[in-house]
Chains A and B, each alone.
Chain A
Amino acid sequence: MAAATPLKAKDFVSDQDVRWCPGCGDYSILKNVQRVMPDLGVPKENIVFISGIGCSSRFPLYMDTFGFHTIHGRAPAFATGIKAARPELSVWVVTGDGDGLSIGGNHLMHVLRRNIDVQILLFNNRVYGLTKGQYSPTSKIGMNSKSTPQGSIDHPVDPVSFALGAGATFVARSIDVDAPHLQKMLKRAADHKGTAIIEILQNCPVYNDDIWVEVQDRKSRGEAALVLEDGEPLVWGAHGQRRGIAINDGVPSIIALGDEDDPVSKGVAIHDESHESASYAFALATLERPDFPLPIGVFRSVEKPTYEAMLQDQVDSAVEQRGDGDLESLLHSGDTWTVES
């Protein structure tokens, strides 16, 4: 069903009023997603957005595609059923740090390890927004929230490390307000065969304002963010402040670079998304502010067979070997006997 006129971003805007707080990072993410949709080459009716519960999970309601706003934390399980049943659909999961990593941590782990070909957008604002401001599993230790008046005593989980640990085949990080980068990551995720997860750093101006400001603000981004480019050395910083990341025995360290220095000869690592060992990406995932720059981009991208393709193969090969199932012969299989009249 190739549409006669190419689709535009506005074709993906639903007729529902968007109800996020003014200034919420979700607006920018929504816009960027709507912008890349026409470029995917997928008929609109084959696109499905699935979500759980939370501010981010309202997302499907605003997309003029098929959408299913489900229950808290379970979006990956719904997406699994949809994709396993109908592999031809383009399935997107929208979740947050609470929905995806707290109540839904189990499902997130399993969708990643099964490598079901869905795209997961995890909006990380490090707080519960919809329930009005409790700390989340990604909140920093010591965070003062309504439920932690004396400061959070939970050690946070890092979404990228979590995904890598679950065996994810595509893991990326981007920023709500960095349109070009976010769009690039969305397209990369869509192109990836297998589960693709993008942690999107998202600002919640109401309950956790400016938690990512260093990397959101263009002025500080060059200093605070390490933009990952496949095949390029891990280098960041403005002129006069260039530095690089070396990784020895899985431990990252900072190497100061002169503007004219060749980073590689100085020991700076070259980014390799498809490194055979996930421990390289793990090492990158340990880079945190303020000691290190925060990596942005694709941490890991490797190929593995997808669950739904292998499931379909089993169905197809069963049909090939045994023919289409026949109810009559099933019911009569094994020992039967006939009572004559």
Chain B
Amino acid sequence: MSQTKKPVEEIDRVAIRFAGDSGDGMQLTGTKFTEATALAGNDLSTFPDFPAEIRAPAGSLAGVSGFQVHFASEDIRTPADAPDILMAMNPAALRANLGDLRPGGMAIVNTDAFSTKNVSQAGYTEDPLPALRDNYRLVEIPLTSLNREALASLKLGARETDRSKNFFALGLMYWLYNRPMESTERWLEGKFKGAVLEANLRVLKAGHAYGETTELFPVSFVVPKAKIEPGTYRNITGNTALAWGIIAAGQLLGQPIFLGAYPITPASDVLHELARYRHFGIKTFQAEDEIAAACSAIGASFAGHLGICTTSGPGFILKQEAIGLAVMTELPVVIVNIQRAGPSTGMPTKTEQADLLAAYYGRNSDSPVPILAPATPGDCFYTMIEAFEIAVKYMTPVVVLSDGYLANSSEPWMIPEVATLPRTNVDYRTDPDGFQPYQRDADTLARPWAVPGTPGLEHRLTGIESEDVTGNVSYLSDNHQKMVNLRAEKIARIAADLPPVEINGAERGEVLVVGWGGTCGAITAAVNEARADGQDVSSIHLRHLNPFQSDLADALSRFNQVLVAELNHGQLWRLLRAEFLVPAESLAKVEGLPFKIAEIRSRIDQMLAGS
């Protein structure tokens, strides 16, 4: 850590939001700051929020890209409801984000970008800065010119020069929070060469030095290391964890992975990530469309590989007919839907959890599939391993519902010991004696996985209703009833493998908040805060949406009031009411944004007040 002569103040947590034009490199700035913060030993949580357009017009509100990082010396679970610091690179970034800034928080603005033109393009009728001083700590820095000064002796074009100003800002923030800069310097050295490298390194240091010399910042801050469980950690986003979970599943099950995917936001990163790891025996296939992606993965499963496809809402819907075929032919395949705000194209870069009922009921006819949902970015890793285990053990397609928030946000993740991860043997049928394609395992009801290349096991699968045991085409009514029942029963039996419901808080009481998927951090934080304030509230976070854990009904019944909090119009809420006849209430948010802790807390307050 660098030395400073100014006083250093110790704080236990802070949330910073970097905001600028999509061309300003805010995602990169945020990511680098996050990495340095992780290495400094803080607990952290991030929330990147960017527009779907690759480059919206410069200076426009539509083009504002933000990255929030929350870090602390204590356990934290969310990117924080309101940032304490807003770094705004232009007027549009200020306007789009100021409403979120904590009252009294610090707004650091690049005054060079506050030309009359930019100010009016952001929709302000007058210079917004003077009015800011009343409610916030406004720090005005001529960032563009300082950056140019720092690079004056380098013969760089104006464009290249200005492009590096995010690293000036980053250097300044490193000084302000006493972060180590080495990881960023190393990264720059690996990424750039020559004058551009020199420029970036120079402005990073210049930003840092500016913090030390300017009178604008009388003190800097330090957030001590968090007391976290011993182990080796890394920072990880949900999509990286998901991709690595797929790789791990291939290793742990001892079978090659085949990924069929079509580019779609926010799932493409998983395809990109896996395409880099062919030396794990992984085959990635960029299909001609979403349907072909699913069909190719199911084909690979038919051939004995671990087939998987990764997609998002609109692509998931296109895959439904193929998933139905995998239900019918009882083939193991994993379908990951990284949900985004919809319907239709919706808001591709914004998060939502509104495909739960589509996963349950979105195929023709009764077509049950197991559904899992990771709770945190790091949990995406374990969820993928579990999804494959279920798929091959029960011979069924499995749907995993991640979401845009989990996909892009990050947290420190304790790297698991590979030796402790569960290993599963894949049982291909090899014995031709008495082989029948739909002869079921007595416990799991799974049919055998008999793959091409195995002598004596030649058989045909079809999406036409098949006779139990033989798999022959059958239009008999009794058989259809039996097969529909069997398909349902097989999925229901998975509950036997699931761990008991974990209750955060007391085992019984007044209010129970139930959530699923990526809202885990916000719900748990809200409930923990409320409990710390003495409120009678607990929470359950479901990772298994179908089947539910067998003791869920009992857990729900031990609370007087149940609140289902989710980022959709009440989908789990409907399921729980239908399944368990609980008079649950719904907290449904569909703004394309994750829950704020305060939103959940205020609903808890209301419910407790009414009790």
A interface vs B, CB < 8 Å? 1, 14, 16, 43-48, 50, 60-61, 63-71, 74, 76-82, 84-86, 88-89, 106-107, 109-110, 311, 314-315, 318-319, 321-325, 327-328, 330-332, 334-341
Contact = CB atoms under 8 A, between A and B. Distances in A.
Contacts of A86: 303-305, 452-453
A107 B288 CA distance: 7
Contacts of A68: 299, 302, 329, 460-462
Interface stretch (B276-284, B519-527, B565-573, B575-583): B276-284
A339 B299 contact: no
A14 to B, nearest CB: 7
B288 to A, nearest CB: 4
A325 B279 contact: yes
9 contacts: A48-B452, A61-B460, A78-B302, A81-B307, A319-B279, A324-B279, A325-B251, A327-B247, A339-B228
Given A70-B295, A84-B283, A339-B231, 5 more contacts: A69-B461, A81-B285, A81-B297, A330-B244, A337-B38
A106 B416 contact: no
Shortest Cβ-Cβ A-B pairs, 7 listed: A81-B299, A325-B280, A81-B296, A77-B295, A67-B460, A77-B292, A78-B299
Contacts of B472: 16
Contact of A321 (B39, B279, B289, B305): B279
Interface of B: 35, 38-39, 41, 183, 225, 228-235, 244, 247-248, 251, 256, 258, 260, 277-283, 285, 287-289, 291-293, 295-305, 307, 321-322, 324-325, 329, 415-416, 418, 452-464, 472-473
Contacts of A70: 295, 298, 325, 463
Contacts of B300: 81-82, 84-85
Contact of A66 (B235, B281, B296, B459): B459
A304 to B, nearest CB: 18
B299 A69 contact: no
A78 B325 CA distance: 11
B41 A339 contact: yes
Given A332-B415, A335-B183, A78 B296 contact: yes
B432 to A, nearest CB: 10
A82 B233 contact: no
B449 to A, nearest CB: 13
B278 to A, nearest CB: 4
A85 B258 contact: yes
Contacts of B225: 339
B296 A106 contact: no
Contacts of A82: 299-300, 302-303, 452
B41 A337 contact: yes
A64 B299 CA distance: 19
Contacts of B325: 70-71
Contacts of A341: 230
A280 B461 CA distance: 41
Contacts of B321: 71
A102 to B, nearest CB: 14
Given A85-B304, A331-B416, A45 B233 contact: no
B287 to A, nearest CB: 7
A333 B462 CA distance: 44
Contacts of A327: 247-248, 251, 418
Contacts of B248: 327
A209 B282 CA distance: 49
A14 B471 CA distance: 13
Given A89-B453, A335-B39, A337-B39, A80 B292 contact: yes
Contacts of A85: 256, 258, 283, 299-300, 303-305, 307
Contacts of A323: 279
A337 B283 contact: no
Nearest to B381: A331
B188 to A, nearest CB: 14
A175 B456 CA distance: 33
B235 A335 contact: yes
B309 to A, nearest CB: 10
Nearest to A76: B292
B426 to A, nearest CB: 14
A310 to B, nearest CB: 11
Nearest to B321: A71
B228 to A, nearest CB: 5
Contacts of B277: 318, 325, 330
A307 B263 CA distance: 19
Contacts of A48: 303, 452
A190 B285 CA distance: 24
B521 to A, nearest CB: 20
A69 B302 CA distance: 12
Given A70-B463, A327-B418, A339-B41, A61 B279 contact: no
Among B38, B233, B462: residue with most chain A CB under 10 A: B462
Given A81-B285, A321-B279, A336-B232, A1 B455 contact: yes
B183 A110 contact: no
B330 to A, nearest CB: 13
B258 A84 contact: yes
Nearest to A338: B232
B72 to A, nearest CB: 15
Among A46, A85, A319: residue with most chain B CB under 10 A: A85
A289 B322 CA distance: 39
A337 B458 contact: no
Contacts of A47: 452
Contacts of B251: 325, 327
B281 A325 contact: yes
Among A67, A68, A80, A334: residue with most chain B CB under 10 A: A68
A101 to B, nearest CB: 15
Contacts of B415: 331-332, 336
A82 B293 CA distance: 12
A85 to B, nearest CB: 4
Given A74-B292, A78-B296, A337-B41, A45 B302 contact: no
Contacts of A325: 247, 251, 277, 279-282
A106 B289 contact: yes
A110 B289 CA distance: 10
A84 B292 CA distance: 13
Contacts of B235: 335
A106 B288 CA distance: 8
Contacts of A50: 299
A81 B230 contact: no
Contacts of A338: 230-233
A64 B251 CA distance: 34
A62 to B, nearest CB: 9
A66 B452 contact: yes
A88 B287 CA distance: 21
Given A106-B288, A337-B41, A78 B456 contact: no
A44 B298 CA distance: 22
Given A81-B295, A85-B258, A335-B183, A45 B457 contact: yes
